[in-house]
Amino acid sequence: MIDQRLLPAEYKLVDFHDYLQVTQAIQQMVVRGAPAIGASGAFGLALAAQTSRAVDKNALLQELRAAAEVIKSARPTAVNLTWGLKRVMEVAEQERGDLESLRTAVLAEAQRIADEDVEINQRMARYGAALISDGDTIIHHCNTGSLAAVDWGTALGVIRMAHKLGKRVHVLVDETRPRLQGARLTAWELEQYQIPYEIITDNAAGYFLRSGGVQKVFFGGDRMAANGDVANKIGTYMLALAANDNQIPAYCVVPTSTIDLSLPHGDLIPIEERDPDEVLGLQFAGYPVAPENAKARNPAFDVTPHRLISGIVTENGVVEPPYESNLRAAVEMSSKK
């Protein structure tokens, strides 16, 4: 994996040799982004199968079930992690061959998830790029590019595709506090693609939306409920509110694997609260921002109601309201392929 904690200062590849290391990497955000952690979890299970000392298939299946529970606990909000683990376990449970056949099947399914992710991302990018006009200025929140997926990306992948197709785009990159995924990761990716950008503070988005200089807002999602409510990186809700108040379309870009039809609405999505040190550890001019004895709250996600979303870009097309029926149709389309 690329250690995303070190970018943009250092580009470092790190190797992992067992599923516990993968779990820790997901929890500590060495790797992040819903599609990326879905594939990472799947490969974590593949590692569990390869390193197991089980002498029969039933024993290995028991180990894989236990490993899946451990990996799943790393990040509770992003449904792709659970989805990837479930896919691998279904293949494992259905394998009728011997021990080595089971190991091979688990690895093959993990690789299939990774390969599919690239193809799905590029399909979403083509649908989403059609929503972007030549000359658009776009506000983008968090990081949703290649770093957040196996490759290409979701919302940033849409912007990348529009640029590749020759459309002139300019991106205003939300810093995305407290971990600054926008300023650190999205800006770094945009430089690789040679897409013009400027970094703005999260709380400057409203100013730019009201000024008339922004035409679109794009963001990703970590879990979407059946009605179109979406949990995404903290700050998305405020961005969508400001966009809605200024009649600027706000688009969410998610693969159908991120849509959780078992949850009727977004209030049921579990929200991860991370270490307060991520907030309190920020520095300015080399000095801590907060007083020494300060306390902090650090929800990693918020829920944006579906009424604030202009359209949901999936690999099966752009879903428009009514979301409840149309999202279900998009998910069912994927399940038939």
Task: Single out the catalytic residue among 222, 229, 260, 302.
Answer: 222
Q: What angle do CA 250, 75, 222 make, to 5 degrees?
A: 15
Helix axes 34-51, 57-72, angle to 10 degrees: 150
What ranges in the chain are assigned the alpha helix state H? Answer: 19-27, 34-51, 57-72, 79-94, 99-129, 155-164, 181, 187-193, 205-211, 236-245, 277-280, 323-335
The number of beta carbons lying within 10 Å of the beta carbon of residue 275 is: 11
Residue indicated by tokens 């196996």: 150
Nearest Cα neighbor of 147 from 238, 299, 13, 298 is 13
Strands 216-219 and 137-140: parallel
CA separation for the pair 149, 333 (Å, rounded): 22
Query: φ and ψ at 318, to 5 degrees?
Result: -90, 115
Active site residue 222: yes
Give kind and range of the element (H or E) at residue 122: helix 99-129
Measure the CA dihedral 70/184/273/39, to 10°: -30
Q: What angle do CA 166, 170, 176 make, to 5 degrees?
A: 130
Peptide bond into 8 cis (omega under 30): yes
CA separation for the pair 11, 5 (Å, rounded): 10
Residue indicated by tokens 């990693």: 300
What sign does the CA torsion over 18, 20, 21, 25 have? Answer: positive
Peptide bond into 322 cis (omega under 30): yes
CA separation for the pair 245, 238 (Å, rounded): 11
Residues classed as catalytic: 222
